[in-house]
Amino acid sequence: MRLTSLVVRPASAGERHCYGAAMLIGAHVRAGKGLVPALQHGADIGADAVQIFTQSPRMWKPSQYSDEVLAGYRAAQAEHPSVVATFCHATYLINLASPDPELAAKSQACLTANLSTADGMGSDGLVLHIGSHRGSGFETALPAVAQALVTALDEVDADIESCPILLENAAGAGDTVGRSFEELAQVIDAAGGDERLGVCLDTQHLWASGIPFGTVEEADALIELIERTVGMARLRCMHLNDSKVDFGANKDRHENIGDGTIGADGLAALLGHPALQGIPAILEVPGEGDGPRTEDVTTARGVLEAGLALRA
Ligand SMILES: [Zn+2]
Ligand SMILES: [Zn+2]
């Protein structure tokens, strides 16, 4: 297989961090007992990467972490070499596209706080749902969205090595921004193409927004679409989820891998795509209600292997 030759090609916007020859299988882990126990849980279930909410995802109140706690996380990651990457997920309440000035200001402050924590942890990226324009229109919302991203990046750290913001493709509900790669590309362009702006590709959101990827041909077409729009160099991580809802249903509802409407076979062709090897794919599946388990990580690895075999 010619995997590595395809993943290390020069990036058009900054060098993409390549984590290895094959896709990494990661897991979203809960930080209720603290950041380091969350990382430890990820290591315990065999995840190659973790994703963490650093504050309650449905509350504005920021969690304040001391420099010692953040340094402690970086040290813990060094002590858990099986977990090679940490992603943070921004609070769900953030809406950078809001036409309401008060909500827009709260969103800006919250994004900057989330990014600062992620940067302090040495995180590989802060995944963000851009939000909803609530009917004001994508074009109307675009300048404010772009400005909010630039402000957060500049306020946290002007260093290009600092934590990137990864814009997640939306499932397409309501007036969400980022329901297509064309929209994500427009947002990145409007923000001046900053190298610290990347993209996170969620398989359930793709499915729900009506973008097919179940066959090798469809998966190839999707990767070509991403290359043509945001550019593959910006794709820094994936969210690997099956779906509780049908193709095109525009709802964000995750299911365990193989138990949903996409199915294991429906995910394999995409996971096996050569251009996605080396990218961390984070499970955000329910498990038995407490999030990804060891068996979910194992199942995902099996689907990845099936996908690689399709192209062998
Ligand atoms: Zn996601
Ligand atoms: Zn989702």
pLDDT at residue 7 is higher than 60: no
- Sequence-ordered list of residues with C-beta below 8 angstroms from that of 190, at least 6 positions apart, any chain: 142, 143, 145, 146
Q: What separation in Å is there between the alpha carbon of 147 and the centre of ligand 1?
A: 23
- 14-73 tens-digit pLDDT: 445 677 789 999 999 999 899 999 999 999 999 999 999 999 888 898 888 999 999 999
Domains and CATH numbers, the chain: 4-8+20-310 (3.20.20.150)
Q: What separation in Å is there between the alpha carbon of 36 and the centre of ligand 2?
A: 24
Q: What separation in Å is there between the alpha carbon of 169 and the centre of ligand 2?
A: 9
Taking the C-alpha atoms of residue 309 and residue 19, their distance in angstroms, rounded to an integer, is 21
Do the Cβ atoms of 114 and 129 come closer than 8 Å?
Answer: no
Q: What separation in Å is there between the alpha carbon of 129 and the centre of ligand 2?
A: 9
Do the Cβ atoms of 242 and 255 come closer than 8 Å?
Answer: yes
Q: What separation in Å is there between the alpha carbon of 284 and the centre of ligand 1?
A: 7
pLDDT at position 158 is 66
Among candidates 168, 170, 172, 135, which has minimal Cα distance to 249?
Answer: 172
Ligand closest to Cα of 127 equals: 1
Ligand closest to Cα of 281 equals: 1
- Over pLDDT 70: what percentage of the chain? 94
pLDDT at position 174 is 81
Question: Who wins on pLDDT, 151 or 6?
Answer: 151
Ligand closest to Cα of 199 equals: 1
Helices 101-120 and 67-79: crossing angle, nearest 10°?
50
Q: What separation in Å is there between the alpha carbon of 61 and the centre of ligand 2?
A: 22
The CB density around residue 35, as the number of other CB atoms within 10 Å, is 24
Taking the C-alpha atoms of residue 258 and residue 216, their distance in angstroms, rounded to an integer, is 18
Q: What residues sit around ligand 1, an ion, with C-beta below 5 angstroms?
A: 202, 239
Instruction: Identify the H or E element spanning 282.
Output: strand 280-283
Ligand closest to Cα of 209 equals: 2
Q: What separation in Å is there between the alpha carbon of 243 and the centre of ligand 2?
A: 9
pLDDT at residue 11 is higher than 50: no
Q: Nearest 5°: CA angle at 130, between 126 and 132?
A: 155
Taking the C-alpha atoms of residue 24 and residue 28, their distance in angstroms, rounded to an integer, is 13
Per-residue pLDDT averaged across 110-131, rounded?
Answer: 96
Q: What separation in Å is there between the alpha carbon of 7 and the centre of ligand 1?
A: 23
Buried-exposed string 109-140: b where 16+ CB fall within 10 A, e elsewhere:
ebbbbbbbbbbbbbbbbbbbbbbbbbeeebee
Q: What separation in Å is there between the alpha carbon of 285 and the centre of ligand 2?
A: 9
pLDDT at position 92 is 93
CA distances from residue 60 to 50, 106, 131 in whole angstroms, order as listed: 23, 8, 15
pLDDT at position 19 is 79
Distance of CA 302 to the CA centre of its chain: 21
